[in-house]
């Protein structure tokens, strides 16, 4: 859905370096989302093992938790970067003309 709206926007505004940058950044979001999803699945597996009385080494729990936090932070930063570049592509010329 967001790729379609981006293509629509590019059709309305025409190609520009700002739109190209936004598109390039947007294409990376699936990697960030996949990394976050994988980390969350690992955390869920560790939690389920503990809930069922199976041992989970504290260091494993710590590493998995840190991976989730790191993946979430990276996804948040990348989401900001993509959104900011999109806003600049869409509104940069409007804001700079005032």
Helix (H) or strand (E) holding 64: helix 58-96
Q: What is the pLDDT along the chain (98 residues), one digit of tens a residue?
A: 567 777 776 777 677 888 889 889 999 999 999 999 999 999 999 999 999 999 999 999 999 999 999 999 999 999 999 999 988 888 876 655 55
This prediction has a pTM of 0.80
Cα–chain center distance at 7: 19
Cβ within 8 Å of residue 17, ≥6 positions away:
none
Domain boundaries, the chain: 27-91
Instruction: Give me the phi and psi of 57, to 5 degrees please.
Output: -60, 140
């Amino acid at each position: 859905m967001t790729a379609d709206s981006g293509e629509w926007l590019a059709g309305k505004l025409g190609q520009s370096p700002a739109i190209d940058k936004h598109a390039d950044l947007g294409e990376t979001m699936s990697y960030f989302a996949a990394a976050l999803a994988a980390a969350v699945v690992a955390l869920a597996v560790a939690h389920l093992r503990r809930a069922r009385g199976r041992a989970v080494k504290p260091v494993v729990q710590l590493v998995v938790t840190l991976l989730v936090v790191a993946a979430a932070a990276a996804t948040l930063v990348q989401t900001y970067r993509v959104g900011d570049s999109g806003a600049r592509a869409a509104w940069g010329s409007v804001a700079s003309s005032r």
